[in-house]
Chains A and B, each alone.
Chain A
Amino acid sequence: MADVEFRKVRKAWGKVVGVADLDLSIRAGEFVSLLGPSGCGKTTTLRMLAGLEFPTSGEIRIGGRTVNDLAPGQRDIAMVFQSYALYPHMTVEENIAYPLKKRGVPRGERGPMVARVAEMLQLGPLLGRKPRELSGGQQQRVALGRALVRDPKVFLLDEPLSNLDAKLRGHMRAELVELHRRLGRTMVYVTHDQLEAMTMSDRIAILEGGVLQQFAPPQEVYREPANRFVAGFIGTPSMNLIDGQLAQTGGRWRFEAPGLALELPALPPGTPGGEACLGLRPEHIAFGSGPLEARVALVEETGHETIVVVELPGGLRLTGRTAPGMALRPGEALRIAPDAAQAHLFAAGPSGRRLNAPAAGPGRAAASVSVPASAAHAGEPS
């Protein structure tokens, strides 16, 4: 059953298009991330769902009910703002109790409800403080508490972790996933951080320029990017995207670019030849031996792996990753072996659609995404 539904939703301010004809259907209890670069329309989408922004056209439904004409307070949603938006003159306790008070929950019932949330988020000792007396992480928890206290149908979160330091962010990520698992509520989570989206979501909606590019589970988005934009956007370091020519000779597909020629596995019938774009994840290039000649251009040691940029004779640059300890020096010549079975193929152009089927089996991709297995699975609806 769809819990949240966007039907041909469009938002434009004059000539500026924030969101273009969005169709999105979110299942009850799902954790969905809206992911994309700055200005792609994530916040606009979330704010339309919250009722803080009105769609230019289209329909938004929550729990099967059209909410276009409902005020934010009537939509049975709760939202955590990027700036937290805590009421500065109220104590933590009053902040958390405020939505209850405004919905006419009797004073006597509010206490236990606030206490339950405070317990869940470990806010007990902070209840008497004002927001300005709290650290960023504590404020974030209070904002979360104010959203949780009411048990709404849908939770909306707009980059709630972006003001926290890296360590706390990692911690809160795990807490949010755990919270989602416990509450089993629908959550719509806006972020521009793909690690957050990959580790927390059941499904990720990737937006670019107000247009939905792909809506799929994290592993699928990684292994089977729907188009060239998603391919380049997901994954660090990003996928190598090589423009070249695709040709079929004697039933075999060949991709050619300056300094690079690859035999490809069979492509679906009807695939057009000519200009195309080949995508290769850094982990799908082996170093040391192979058919291609290259020269090391750049080496980056990150500690747990080494990022290597090599240059092919034609001037093409490829990024790869290897285990640390492989002594590579810039300028050094070496042989490389791209794994053609794992290659992605896209139509030409900046957002060319995918042409080939994904490689069979999890391959090396699953192992190399930095997704803690526990966190990824905890995100599935229970």
Chain B
Amino acid sequence: MPAPRPTALERQYARLGVLLIAPTVLVFCAVIVYPLVSAIYLSLFQIFTPTLQGSWVGLDNYRALLARGEFWTSLQNNLIWTVGTLTLQILFGVAMALVLHQNLWFRSLARSLILFPYFVSTVVAVLVWKWVFNDLYGILNHFMLTLGIIDWPIDYLGTMPNAMISIILVGAWKYFPFVVIAVLARLQTIPEALYEAARIDGAGPVARFFDITLPQLREVLVVIILLRAIWDFKEFDLIYLMTGGGPVIATQTLPLLVYKEAFAVNQMGMASAYAVVMMAIMLAFMIVYIRRTRERG
């Protein structure tokens, strides 16, 4: 059956609709599509960054990249960092949200304080933590030495695995408030009657957590984990400022590698190729995320 011809009114509505979304589409194209397409385009050239002069090399950049040990090391670092910091964020975040959900007299104060790390700019936070971790003057070593836990100062940022552990911890400290806020918001919507019903049904506190709280948090946790995984995967400033990717390249993740290629080695084409590969990996996360959210809807 042929679709009925749209009436004049329907056509008018359609025109209005196009008019209304046009600005959004234009901005989207300018800030998302154009850089994306040009990144892919640039990755097919060998380009010297200062002059932006280049020559076509086709897929050579990609071939070279996959053959390079540094790429694989950075990818591995990237995964260790993402999984490590994300796990800690979720554990701290959920635990803290559960604590703050209780009726504590200092609850509202604690709730505002908990957001502090999330609001502090990364540069400031990193400066503070670098002082804490400083091997010669740092307060952490000072305390540990005074308490007699260690005999020699520990180099927290200049050796491995200390450097990786340090950035994972700082990352968890910086971003766990996001988890707290999202989980707390969900906790507050769980009907109290469910807990009361469970108490009458004979469930103790632990059973109530696993049988009611956790299943109710499942959906929000899936969304948090996916979003944070994407954000942590592409984290640049925190790691760059903490360790600069060092010692050597032991904490260098893909975003740091892209930056180094583009502005230290001055190979814009190669940097673009790295960026495109990184995007492909994140696309995988995105697809999972979209699948999950669509299933629920």
Contact = CB atoms under 8 A, between A and B. Distances in A.
A73 B216 contact: no
B191 A79 contact: no
Contacts of A88: 194, 215-216
B265 interface: no
Interface string A81-92: 101010111000
Contact of B216 (A72, A79, A89, A98): A89
A102 B207 CA distance: 8
B108 to A, nearest CB: 21
B196 A146 contact: no
B199 interface: yes
A104 B116 CA distance: 45
B196 A85 contact: yes
B96 to A, nearest CB: 24
A103 B204 CA distance: 11
Contact of A73 (B191, B194, B200, B211): B200
Contacts of B196: 50, 52, 72, 79, 81, 85
Interface in B174-224: 191, 193-194, 196-204, 207, 211-212, 215-216, 218
Nearest to A75: B200
Contact of B201 (A52, A83, A89, A146): A146
A51 B197 CA distance: 11
Give the interface SS of chain B, mostly helix, strand, loop or mixed. helix
A87 B212 CA distance: 7
Given A85-B191, A85-B194, A87-B212, A50 B202 contact: no
A217 interface: no
A72 B191 contact: no
B193 A73 contact: no
Interface in A302-361: none
A81 B197 contact: yes
Contacts of B198: 87, 98, 102
Contact of B199 (A52, A83, A103): A52
Contacts of A103: 202
A26 interface: no
B286 to A, nearest CB: 26
B216 A102 contact: no
B122 to A, nearest CB: 38
A99 B201 contact: yes
A34 interface: no
A283 B177 CA distance: 68
Contacts of B203: 73, 98, 102
Given A89-B215, A89-B216, A102-B207, A83 B200 contact: no
A4 interface: no
Nearest to B193: A85
Contacts of A50: 196, 200
Contacts of A81: 193, 196-197
A89 B210 CA distance: 12
Contacts of B201: 73, 98-99, 102, 146
Interface in B103-147: none
A206 interface: no
A73 B204 CA distance: 9
A71 interface: yes
A144 interface: no
A98 B200 CA distance: 11
B241 to A, nearest CB: 42
Given A51-B200, A88-B215, 10 more contacts: A50-B196, A72-B196, A73-B200, A73-B204, A83-B191, A85-B197, A87-B198, A87-B212, A88-B194, A102-B202
Interface of B: 191, 193-194, 196-204, 207, 211-212, 215-216, 218
Closest 7 CB pairs of A and B: A73-B202, A85-B193, A102-B202, A99-B201, A85-B197, A89-B215, A72-B199
10 contacts: A51-B200, A52-B199, A73-B199, A85-B196, A87-B211, A88-B216, A89-B215, A89-B216, A98-B198, A99-B200
